[in-house]
Amino acid sequence: MMNPQVHFLLNKALESLGNSNLDSAELYLNQASKLQAHNPHVLGLLGIVYTQRGNYPDALKFLNDSLRILPKNPLTLSNLGNVYASLKNFENAIEFYKKSIKVNPNYVEAWSNVGNALQEIDCFEEAITHYDKALSLRPDFAEAWSNKGNALQALKRFEEAVIHYDKALSLNPNYAEAWSNKGNALQELKRLDEAIAHYDKALSLKPSYLKGYIGKGNTLVELKRFEEAVIYYDKALEFKPDYAEAHSAKGNALYELKLFDAAIDHHNKALKLKPDYAAGWINKGVTVNELGDYDEAIVCFSQALNLKPDVFWVDGYLIHAKMKICNWSELSTHLESISEKIMGNQKVIRPFALLSLVDDPVLHKKAAHTYVQYYFSSNSELGSIPKYSKKERLRIAYFSPDFRTHPVSHLTSELFELHDRSRFEVIAFSLQKTPPGDQMNVRLRNVFDHFIEVNQLSDLEVAKLARHLEIDIAIDLAGHTQHSRGGIFSYRAAPIQVNWLGYPGTTGIKFIDYLVADRTIIPISEQHMYSEKIAHLPNTYMVDDSKRTPSDRIFTREECGLPRNRFIYCCFNNDFKFNPFILDCWARILLATQNSVLWISENNRNFQKNILAEFENRDIEPSRIIFAGRVDSMGDYLARYRLADLFLDTYPYGAHTTAIDSLKAGVPILTLMGQSFASRVAASLLNTIGLGELITFSQEEYEALAIDFAMAPNKLEDVKLKLRDNLQITPLFNTSLFAKNLEAIYLKMYDHYQLDLEPNHISCD
């Protein structure tokens, strides 16, 4: 029988615990322990006190002591589960919760706690079954309704999650956590204004609720209101200066504001506070990668992968950063793993990074589909788009983050000028703020009928604006490249939505209707490998500005560091397009042509160091690899090409704008045509300019022809003469003809729409 005084002290301790007065509770329990040293209830409550203090070793000691005396006490078993959950030992936590349930199958809190622990180890479906059991025992258990909503949200069942949060709030309207959790689900559903209102309600009920500040900050980021987001992350940090997640989130907002040094400072603070924070390592990696510190980015992405091997997209971040500095260690192993994960629908690599790794349009489509399903599933908030009445002048809008000094704008600027204004009204939606004084941006602002800056608008707001303007055809010039905004098109910004030029592959998006290509890029027999319907242009899908011409400047080999009497192979492609396969080819070519050198872009310092080492491993002297520095003048840049004899294309991601540049400067390009869009662009250009003999279809043919040109200069001179003649008479650089063909494609798309026909493969031949 319990001592009456001990009973009194236990009740006082329970009362103190209820008021969160741990000091008083501990005092009463210590007094009770002196009266009855081995009372299991006293020991169990001491365990709870130490758990709440965060003193887990003592909490475990007292709870285990209590359990030895009273081994089938469900409360003690459950409290042991709580300690292990606090220690993030969720397997042990689940074990003790289940032991508690075995003793008392009607222990509602234990059923719910099992669900909580299962969520922590990503067993969301199993967690839901445990919440359902808890709710069958106590239908008015608001916490279980909210936590089940969290599990549903983790499974991307956001509409169902909202229903569960609403049930929790009907039971407890002052449940701040449920208001905030519902805000998270609304954010995922892109109901961003509603999400903000729910975070505000949560914070009005619980001003110190950290997750509410983080949630509102994240939603403000979605709304492109980055400065305001920083304010809310700072509010969270006022309450908890050591809140790692808030530092990392603030770092992300500062990144969007291009305050990179400040962003890195906050990412470092987050990781110092929480070194095992995988998402924090990724966030820092993305930031240092943007600054060109690829070695540091590799360290960050590797650390994230070590901490959480299944963290989304990090495999792709890591391999792309390594490709940028020609760090090809374990490349084949990485590629095999990534390919398997893509086919298993895992979120392993973003579509753009995959293009330079594999020549497989099926794999490209699969990766793109997985990516867009995660980020850009169709949003229904605006409802179906109304049918617009037929116009005399179609409203076409080009969406791009690159209306500035950028390859996409170099290629398209004249096209925008040449569009027939009697039939088309041409609008620009600029997705990124451009640095002041950018001359290309100045030119483009005067080219379009309307130039609209939307960088500070959310995807939903941009889509609403496009609908308000009754845009007939929306052309996405970015696809899955940096700073693209696929979410805009998920709201159906226009009745006809088109992928063209900026991204060489399928978007994998069902709400992008057409992909503009040509029959070299995508033969009719391969149209099924793309999610869009194919709009075939008659020549090449690429355009160029005919005003972009080489200057009259005569460069000498000496001033560019090139030997006077050697054959000059060149390749001015981006760093990530280089790989062991193409270097093996080039090394064999150089070894067979001892009087040759290879002239390549300098890219970045580590790229230079590593690629020289790779060539040395293939018996090529470093002196035979020469790096081309940056030339600011476009005319001089093109004129410098003329020092080269032959451009060697990369594979599988070949030259695109650089191929246009080479041909325009009169330098032939030798390409190895593969199966994917990215590997066929140079072939498309060569067919259009009448130089199909420079297209090869195997590694052996590619190498043999490259060697042959160096060993037989007269043969190459014949090709150069043909190129010079064809520059004037073939369609490749006829921008006016290209504009007419592209407009014919747009009109066919529009006719299909006006006839209420579904998008279908079309051409303007």
Q: Does 632 lie in the same domain as 723? A: yes
Q: Which of 314, 347, 375 is the last residue of a domain?
A: 375
The pLDDT of residue 20? 75
Write the pLDDT tens digit of every residue in 470-519. Answer: 999 999 999 999 999 999 999 999 999 999 999 999 999 889 999 999 99
Query: Has residue 654 been placed in a domain?
Result: yes
- Dist CA 347 CA 370 (whole Å): 7
Residue 259 carries which side chain, given as an amino acid letter?
L
* Mean pLDDT calculated for residue range 555-567: 96
Model confidence at 463: pLDDT above 70 = yes
Cβ-contact 545, 411 below 8 angstroms: yes
- Residue 32's pLDDT is 66
* Predicted model pTM: 0.91
Integer CA distances (angstroms), 592 to 11, 270, 519, 579, in order: 92, 54, 35, 20
CATH number of the domain within which 634 lies: 3.40.50.2000
Q: Rounded mean pLDDT of 118-129?
A: 96
What pLDDT is recorded for position 4?
Answer: 76
624 has pLDDT over 90: yes
User: Which two three-digit tokens encode residue 475?
Assistant: 């052309």
Q: What pLDDT score does 25 carry?
A: 67
In a domain, 380, yes or no: no
Q: Which of the listed residues 375, 403, 422 is the one where a domain comes to its end?
A: 375
Which residues, 6+ apart, have CB-to-CB distance to 436 below 8 Å?
none
For 2, the token pair is 């319990």
CA distance 295 to 324: 10
Does residue 399 sit in helix, strand or coil? strand
Are 715 and 584 part of one and the same domain? yes
Task: Please compute the mean of the pLDDT values over residues 512-539 and round it to a whole number.
Answer: 97
Check whether residue 499 and residue 584 sit in a common domain.
no
* In-domain check, residue 127: no
Give the closest residue to 530 by CA, choosing from 697, 675, 683, 347.
675
Going by C-beta distance under 8 Å and a sequence separation of 6 or more, which residues neighbour residue 410? 440, 544, 545, 548, 634, 657
Q: Specify whether 690 is located in the same domain as 595.
A: yes
More confident position, 600 or 45: 600
Residue 650 or 67, more confident: 650
- Same domain flag for 510 and 424: yes
Quick: pLDDT tens for 714-734. Answer: 999 999 999 999 999 999 999
Q: What angle do CA 394, 482, 195 make, to 5 degrees?
A: 80
Position of tokens 């990179």?
A: 260
Residues 585, 725: one domain? yes
* Dihedral over Cα of 736, 738, 744, 750: its sign: negative
- The yes-or-no verdict on residue 337 having pLDDT over 70 is yes
Share above pLDDT 90 across residues of the chain, in percent, rounded to a whole number: 85
Q: Is the pLDDT of residue 585 over 60?
A: yes
**Helices assigned H by DSSP within 344-450:** 351-355, 361-375, 407-418, 439-447
Best CA proximity match to 682, nearest among 709, 658, 705: 658
Is residue 645 one of the residues assigned to a domain?
yes
Q: Work out the burial of residue 271: count CB atoms within 10 Å of its CB; fewer than 13 is exposed, 13-18 middle, 19 or more buried.
A: buried
Examine the domain organization and report whether 695 and 615 are in the same domain. Answer: yes
Determine, yes or no, domain membership for 756: no
Q: Are 149 and 162 in contact (CB under 8 A)?
A: yes
Residues 6+ apart with CB under 8 A from 376: 486, 487, 489, 490, 509
* Domain presence at residue 370: yes
Sign, CA dihedral 60-66-72-74, equals: negative
Whether the upstream peptide bond of residue 652 has omega within 30° of 0, thus cis, is: yes
DSSP for residue 420? -
Q: What is the tens place of the pLDDT at every residue in 124-161? A: 999 999 999 999 999 999 999 999 999 999 998 999 99
Identify whether residues 347 and 277 lie together within a single domain: yes
pLDDT of 47 above 80:
no
Q: Which CATH number fits the domain that encloses residue 431?
A: 3.40.50.11380
Same domain, 435 and 485: yes
Does residue 80 lie in a domain region? no
Q: 619 with 726, same domain?
A: yes
Q: How many CB atoms lie within 10 A of CB 87?
A: 14
pLDDT tens-digit profile of 250-305? 999 999 999 999 999 999 999 999 999 999 999 999 999 999 999 999 999 999 99
Q: Are residues 292 and 404 in the same domain?
A: no
Total number of domains constituting the chain: 3
Note the pLDDT tens digit of each residue in 191-211: 999 999 999 999 999 999 999
Question: Quick one: pLDDT at residue 734?
Answer: 97
Pairwise CA distance, residues 274 & 271, whole Å: 5
Provide the mean pLDDT of the chain: 94
If asked whether residues 525 and 576 sit together in one domain, one would say no
How far, rounded to the nearest angstrom, does the alpha carbon of residue 707 sit from its chain's CA centroid?
40
Give the range among 21-30, 359-368, 402-411, 506-515 with minimum mean pLDDT.
Answer: 21-30
Is 583 within the bounds of a domain?
Answer: yes
CATH number at residue 299: 1.25.40.10
Q: Is 448 strand, coil or helix?
A: coil
Range among 12-16, 63-67, 741-745 rated most confident = 741-745
Q: Where in the sequence is the domain holding 344, given as residue range(s)?
A: 263-375
